[in-house]
A and B are shown apart, each in its own frame.
Chain A
């Protein structure tokens, strides 16, 4: 098998196309083991969950920053102002200037606000942040974000935490065709087959949290997702056969053209 191309975000190369979140785990230890088993090199952490001023903060300490890109996220922010404030606090506390931008004014479905996300992205990019925005699967918004300089777009497959899979498949397909920055499918993927499906479509990476954290065996599930992502990406690179929507007709309608010639 040929060597698969690596994921590159903002000129930084990553050996894994699986990004993982840190919420919902039953313990820090299980979280660490699951992250290790996932092979992920990018780990996102909700800033609301950590105390950046405390060097002994449990969650911060649990993630080895030499091994993983520690990607803080603005989960809980209701508008651009709040998200930007959190991003700046994180940078001031010594985090790298990478930020997973989440603006979710509705605390129930946690759907991203496109207007506020675009506003915050534009300003944070100008301030030198590498911005990875969480968005609904909206191709036009994805283009607009790319234009203001975000380093990825992260469309959701389904509402966060729902494990429903690629409900937004058609729109994600358009995003993959249209944008030039990496496309990371972010939310709603509940099974390794969902992750594989996204990768087969040509997504550059996927981010998984709930499906791993809430599995009976998070470590086993993390491994399974790793394989799912690799399988899907491998298939995409190897060139999936086109779906033919009908069996080849055994007596072709234009066969007479050939038989007449003889």
Chain B
């Protein structure tokens, strides 16, 4: 049993039709419901829901403060390799893009993390493209072991692996797994991922299952906004998260909703998502999943990040670089996409504090893991 068995019960077109039928009355009911069912989620995501943004935002804010307090957990991405054998049409790392590529040495990764450590970061997310040849699991394990003394939490956003490889990562100090389905629309997924292992929709869809079975403490899923109808993808990512919460009850589940950014290759999104729609999606997910983490990256511009802050966000990155070596250990390597909020971590942290939130640098401890004893 995996989410694959679950998702085939819901057809994209049926969810899409159900969303478009939702009325203002449905939205009102969804807002008032003490616990919410799928129909409520669809109502909150519907065009009718757009008239209730303020009500949704107030409710989302209240729930988030109650569950997470006035805190924002800080993290930074560390790209360790941009080598990739996939050809995702929207991604700068697409193997057909003529860009400068690099895979960092373990020492270079350590240098990058030392830089982030000096800025205050204790939670990092390691990223790769998909190239097991350049970034094999043993390489990632060597990195994790090296970084562990410096960090409170190490997560990975890497190519999908088998469960046993995830177990090995966990044993060596990795506690979180991030993997986005990008879009849940089967046909469009195939169009957007014309070649490479990522073409396999089901293998990717079941990646959080394998991560949950392996025992990751944190599972982070998401959709890339711009690839399909955000309302339907929002419903599917909500269903996926709810499934993971129930099934892997010891893992904390977070959801990301990155919007497509300009990248090498020049892909133009067919389904753009404006700020109001972004707010609607975020609030709907919060009301559907009161306990889930909601992650906001530097893909979004500074001013919007400020305004989204009180609506349900629990984790933020800052000062991010999307190229391997971008924090100083290498020059002139291509990033995955252009970031938008280019403020320094210190500036972001001041902004967070000015909004009455406490930036939290450390909210985990490698002391939890058996692997801490070398």
Measuring CB to CB, which residues of chain A are less than 8 angstroms from any residue of chain B?
Answer: 23-28, 47-51, 76-78, 81-82, 85-86, 89, 105-109, 161-163, 210, 213-214
Contact = CB atoms under 8 A, between A and B. Distances in A.
Nearest to B360: A49
Contacts of B271: none
A210 B69 contact: yes
Contact of A77 (B252, B362, B368): B368
Given A27-B356, A86-B365, 10 more contacts: A23-B69, A23-B71, A25-B69, A27-B353, A49-B363, A76-B364, A78-B250, A82-B367, A85-B367, A107-B217
Contacts of A25: 69-71, 358
Contacts of B364: 48, 76
A107 B66 contact: no
A107 B250 contact: yes
Contacts of B360: 49
A32 to B, nearest CB: 12
B68 interface: yes
A50 B249 CA distance: 26
B358 A47 contact: no
B66 A161 contact: yes
A105 B362 contact: no
B351 interface: no
Interface residues of B, number: 29
B241 to A, nearest CB: 11
B252 A107 contact: yes
A89 B70 contact: no
Contact of A48 (B68, B252, B365): B365
B362 A51 contact: yes
B291 interface: yes
18 contacts: A24-B68, A24-B69, A24-B70, A26-B71, A49-B360, A51-B152, A78-B250, A85-B372, A105-B250, A106-B250, A107-B250, A107-B251, A107-B252, A108-B245, A210-B66, A213-B70, A214-B66, A214-B70
A77 B370 CA distance: 12
B67 interface: yes
Contact of A24 (B71, B250, B362): B71
A214 B68 CA distance: 9
A89 B360 CA distance: 21
B368 A82 contact: yes
B121 to A, nearest CB: 12
List 8 A-B pairs, minimum CB-CB distance, nearest first.
A24-B69, A26-B70, A107-B252, A108-B291, A26-B356, A48-B365, A89-B367, A105-B250
Contacts of A108: 245, 249, 252, 291
A46 to B, nearest CB: 8
B201 interface: no
Nearest to B70: A26
A107 B249 CA distance: 7
A81 B372 CA distance: 13
B66 A48 contact: no
Contacts of A78: 217, 250, 368
